[in-house]
Amino acid sequence: MTADGQAVAGTPVAGRGVRAGGPLAAPPRAVAAIAAVTVAVLLAVSPWYGYHRDELYFRMLGERPRLGYFDTPPLTPMIARLSTTLFGDTVVALRIVPALCTGALVVLVALAARELGGGRTAQILAAAGTATSVLPLVAGHALLTLTPDLVLWSAVTLCLLRVLLRGDGRYWLWTGALCGIAAYNRDLIVVLLGGVGLGVLVAGPREVLRDRRLWAGVLLALAIASPNLVYQATHDWPQLQMAQALRIDEGADNRASFVPLQIVLLGPVQAVVCAAGWLRLWRNRRVRSLAIAYPVACALILYSGGRPDYTGAFLLYLFAAGCVTAAGWRWRAALATALAAGAVVAVVVALPVVPAASLGGTPVAAVNEVARESVGMRDVAAQTARVVDGLPAAERAGAVLLAANYGEAGALRRWAGEFGLPAVYSGHNELWWWGPPPEGTRVVVSVGYPPADLATVFTRCVPAGRLSGMPGEERGVPITVCRDPVRPWRQLWPSARHYS
C-alpha cells in the first residue's frame, strides 16, 4: 500500500473505505463535487447554438414509440420522448439527461480507478480528467446514442472489474442487466463483452468463467434484450443492414481518422495517461483481459469502418487505470497543470463557446461535428417556410414537404407549427418506413434532393433557392418545388429509400 492509499497493482485489496468483496463505497467528496460542477456547466450552456440534427431526429422518432427502429434501437428516442414530456419541448429539456449522464460518468470512472487500487488522488485525477475530456463533454452537451452508451458501458466495466479483481460473482448479474439495457441503445455492447471475454480466455483468470452466476447473467441479459432482438430478427436484422450502409458510406473516412481521433477524443494529456493505464492493466494478470480488449475492439472497428468514438468506453477505463499510476508520479503537479491547460482546449472544442455566427470559419467546426450540426437547424424550417408561403393558395393547401435526410425532416417537423409547414416525408433510414405522401398529392417542396433526380419523377420542377447561414451538412442544399409525379406514390416510394 502506498502513502496515497493505493494498492500495489495486482493486489486484490480494497481502497480506503471499501470492504473487499463488499458493495461499492461512495467516492471522495471532491469527486462528487467535480461531477456536480460538470452537470451544472453542461446545463448552463445547453441552450447555446441549438438542436443537433440527431436530437431532432430522436425527437421525431420518439413521437412513435416502438421496440425498435430501422437505424437505431429505441432507448435514445425514448429518452427524447420522456424528456419532452416531463420537461417540455425545448432543446434544454432534451439535454437534461445527457448532463446527468456525464455527471454519472465522472463518478463511474473515479470508481473504476478506486477498484484498480487508486486512492483519493487517483480518483480525483480520474474524475477531473474525465470531466475535462472532449468526448464526455460532447456526449453531455447533446442527446446522442453516445450519451447513454458511455454511462452503460462504463458501468459494465466497473462490474467486470469487481468480478475480475475480487472474484465477486454477484456482479455477473449486474453485468447481464446492464448489457440487456445497453442493447436497447446500440448492439455494440457485444464488442466490449467479446473483447474482454477473449482476453479472459487468453490471459485469465479463467476461473471466473466457471461461476454459475455468469450464465445467470447471460440469461438475464437475453431476457431483458429479447424484445429488441425479436424486433431485429423479424425485420431482417436492420442493424446489420445499417452497419453495412455506414461502412460503404463512411468507412474509408472513419479508418483514416481513427488513430488521430483516439488522441483527440479524450485529449493529448489523457492519452498519455491512457498509455500508462494500458501498461498497468497488462502487467496485472487478473485484469490483463481489459488490456487485450482494447486492441481487439480497435481491430474490429477498423475492419467494419465504424466510428472512432466507438472506443470511448475503452479509453475511459484505460484512463482510470492510468490515473492510479499517475497518482504516484513525482511530476504529477506538472500533469495537473497540463490537464488544466487541456481542459481549456477541450471546453472550446466540445462546448458551444465559440460564437455561432463565426463557428464555420474556425477549426472547431472541422473537429466537432456536433457543434457544426447544431447551428442553423431552425433556419432550415424558416427558409423552407418562405418557399411554401410563396406557393399559390390552392397549391399550398395540398402541398407536402420531402426531406432528403433525417436532420432536415426533424427540423421541418419541430418547427412546423411555428411556421405553418405541411406534413413532411422522407426516404431516409427509418422515415422511409413511415410511408409516402397520400395518393393524389401533386405539389412537393423538396429540401435536399438533387434537382436532377427529382426531374425523373416529376413532370415539372422549379429551383427555389438553397439553404444558407449554417456551417453543417445542410449548408447549400437545394430547395425545389415539384409538381405532378409521373407515377402513383406507391410505385415511386420504393426508389426513395436510402440508408446512411
d(CA 445, CA 390): 11
pLDDT score of 61 more than 80: yes
With residues binned 3-state (H G I as helix, E B as strand, rest as coil), the percentages for the chain, rounded to 5, are: 65, 5, 30
The whole-number pLDDT of residue 436 equals 96
Least confident of 2-11, 240-249, 372-381, 470-479: 2-11
pLDDT score of 98 more than 70: yes
Question: In terms of DSSP bridges, do strands 458-466 and 443-447 run parallel, antiparallel, or are they unpaired?
Answer: unpaired
How many CB atoms are located within 10 Å of the residue 198 CB?
Answer: 14
Is the bond into 436 cis (omega within 30 degrees of 0)?
no
**pLDDT > 70: what percent of the chain?**
95
Using CB atoms within 10 A of its CB, is residue 351 exposed (0-12), middle (13-18) or buried (19+)? Answer: buried
- Mean pLDDT on 406-420: 96
Burial 366-405, CB ≥16 within 10 A → b, else e: eebbbbbbbbbbbbbbbbbbebbeebeeeeeeebbbbbbb
Angle subtended at Cα 42 by Cα 37 and Cα 48, rounded to the nearest 5 degrees: 145
Residue 310 gets the label, from left (phi > 0), alpha (psi -120 to 50) or beta, of alpha
Please state at what angle helix 146-166 crosses helix 96-115, rounded to 10 degrees: 20
- Mean pLDDT on 46-57: 95
Question: In terms of DSSP bridges, do strands 424-426 and 443-447 run parallel, antiparallel, or are they unpaired?
Answer: unpaired
- Mean pLDDT on 167-190: 94
pLDDT digits (tens, 9 = 90+) for 191-248: 999 999 999 999 989 999 999 999 999 999 999 999 988 888 888 887 777 777 777 7
- Say which residue the cell 431526429 belongs to: 57
- 55, 80 in Cβ contact below 8 A? yes
- Say which residue the cell 466537432 belongs to: 368
Q: What is the pTM of this model?
A: 0.90
pLDDT score of 9 more than 70: no
- 308, 261 in Cβ contact below 8 A? yes
- Mean pLDDT on 179-199: 93
- Mean pLDDT on 335-363: 91
The whole-number pLDDT of residue 1 equals 44
pLDDT score of 123 more than 90: yes
- 351, 137 in Cβ contact below 8 A? yes
Measured between alpha carbons, how far is residue 475 from residues 77, 409, 479 in Å?
Answer: 26, 15, 11
The whole-number pLDDT of residue 367 equals 86
Q: What is the 8-class DSSP label of residue 284?
A: -
The whole-number pLDDT of residue 15 equals 36
- Mean pLDDT on 147-170: 95
Least confident of 81-85, 110-114, 336-340, 381-385: 336-340
The whole-number pLDDT of residue 95 equals 97
pLDDT score of 327 more than 60: yes
- Mean pLDDT on 431-457: 95
Set of cell numbers at residue 375: 447551428
pLDDT digits (tens, 9 = 90+) for 445-484: 999 999 999 999 999 999 999 999 888 889 999 999 999 9
pLDDT band at 8 (very low <50, low <70, confident <90, very high): very low
Among 91, 98, 79, CA closest to 52? 91
Set of cell numbers at residue 449: 434532393
d(CA 295, CA 495): 40
pLDDT score of 185 more than 50: yes
- Mean pLDDT on 294-307: 90
The whole-number pLDDT of residue 7 equals 46
pLDDT band at 381 (very low <50, low <70, confident <90, very high): very high
Strands (E) in 354-457, as ranges, are 400-403, 424-426, 443-447
> What strand order describes the sheet that includes 424-426?
424-426, 400-403, 443-447, 478-485, 458-466
DSSP states of 3-38? TTSPPPTT-----TT--TTSPPPPPPHHHHHHHHHH
Calculate the CA dihedral of residues 381, 307, 431, 102 and round it to 10 degrees.
-70
The whole-number pLDDT of residue 25 equals 60
- 271, 129 in Cβ contact below 8 A? no
- Mean pLDDT on 167-173: 94
d(CA 465, CA 478): 6
| Higher-pLDDT residue of 365, 79 | 79
Among 174, 165, 177, CA closest to 207? 165
